[in-house]
Amino acid sequence: MNLKNTITEPQPRLAEISALIGLLVWFLLLLVPISTVTGIAQIERFFLFAILVIVPLGLSLIEPQELHGLHTWPYRIALLAQPFGAAFGVASFMFNQGKLAAILACGWLVVTVIIASGGMWRFVLRGSLRVEEISLSFALMYIAVGGMWFVMSRLGFHPMDFGDTIVLLTAVHFHYTGFAAPLLMALTGRVLRTSEGGKTNLLLVLAVFCLIGGTPIVAAGITLSSGLVGLIGAIVISTSLWLLSGLVVVKIIGVIHSWSARILLFISSLTISLSMVLALLYAYSIFSQRLLINIPKMAEYHGTANAVGFALCGLLAWSVIRKRENSKFRT
């Protein structure tokens, strides 16, 4: 079976160029001191990595067949606005928390709201019940939650007496687990459906709904200051991402001809599998009030695995697949 239409055709290169420039900017920012309110600079840097690299790279993988019609205007605007919004986001870290930093952060919030409106419009107008398309719509919608928490972080606003670290971590969470993960789930699901003759894979259904449902459960655990709810959310999300990893390794890698894409997908699957073990250890630490791993270590290991190993390698793999193997997939 030819899977030609399963992976997206090349899109306007704006988002890819933005991601490449964003990566260069991010490396340069490693040499520049930025405003850190958490005391853990990796958290701020991983957030910047998301807005400079992960989001534009993810946007470049949205399917081109949806670029016609009225409901695609938010996506088109987001492609143009993303570099400017990211620049405002970077600039906000050059100032201490306060009104000026928050105003600059609103530049990125605007971009996330545009993206989310496209996701909502897509979800309502397209009306597809295919689980992979639902996953993609939620990826686009969830990112706006991260944008709102980012503005609160730069303002110095502490809802429900949350500390600065938790506020910014929530923003980071919704850019990776809220945006990158369901996007990767959607891309996997499209190939999986085609390779399985149009059938719905039940493990993918479970993975998608665990991911979509687990994200607000984790947020509820934070809101309610409940270690039990947070642990449940971590278990649900971990289950989802372990299922995704298994499906990629068992079902997807075998139908891909590009060795570079295979290696990147394997790295992505392996790192997120190990990373979620750390997430469970941290959630259990909060629940049991026994320190097994602290936030600095989570930022160093879990953060690196999620940002570079899972999100970046996964998105790069699908970018390679889109460009090189669009007409080569066969089962």
pLDDT (tens digit per residue) in 174-233: 999 999 999 999 999 999 988 877 788 899 999 999 999 988 888 777 666 667 888 898
How many helices (H) and strands (E) are present in the chain, helices listed first?
A: 14, 0
Q: Please count the other Cβ atoms lying within 10 Å of the Cβ belonging to residue 25.
A: 16
pLDDT (tens digit per residue) in 269-314: 999 999 999 999 988 988 888 888 888 888 889 999 999 999 999 9
**Exposure string over 89-118, b if 16+ CB within 10 A, otherwise e:** bbbbbebebeeebbbbbbbbbbbbbbbbbb
Q: Which of the four pLDDT bands, split at 50, 70 and 90, describes residue 36?
A: confident
pLDDT (tens digit per residue) in 41-73: 889 999 999 999 999 999 999 865 544 455 578
Does some domain include residue 128?
A: yes
Do residues 30 and 154 touch, judged by C-beta distance below 8 A?
Answer: no
Does some domain include residue 169?
A: yes
Does some domain include residue 7?
A: no
Query: Within its chain, how far is the Cα of 124 from the centroid?
Result: 22
Total domain count for the chain?
1
Does some domain include residue 331?
A: no
Does some domain include residue 6?
A: no
Pair of tokens at residue 58:
């993810």
Q: Which of the four pLDDT bands, split at 50, 70 and 90, describes residue 88?
A: very high
Q: Which of the four pLDDT bands, split at 50, 70 and 90, describes residue 129?
A: confident
**Exposure string over 212-229, b if 16+ CB within 10 A, otherwise e:** bebbebbbebbeeeebeb
Does some domain include residue 235?
A: yes
Give the domain extent around 232: 14-324
The pLDDT of residue 223 is 64
This model's pTM is above 0.85: yes
Does some domain include residue 5?
A: no
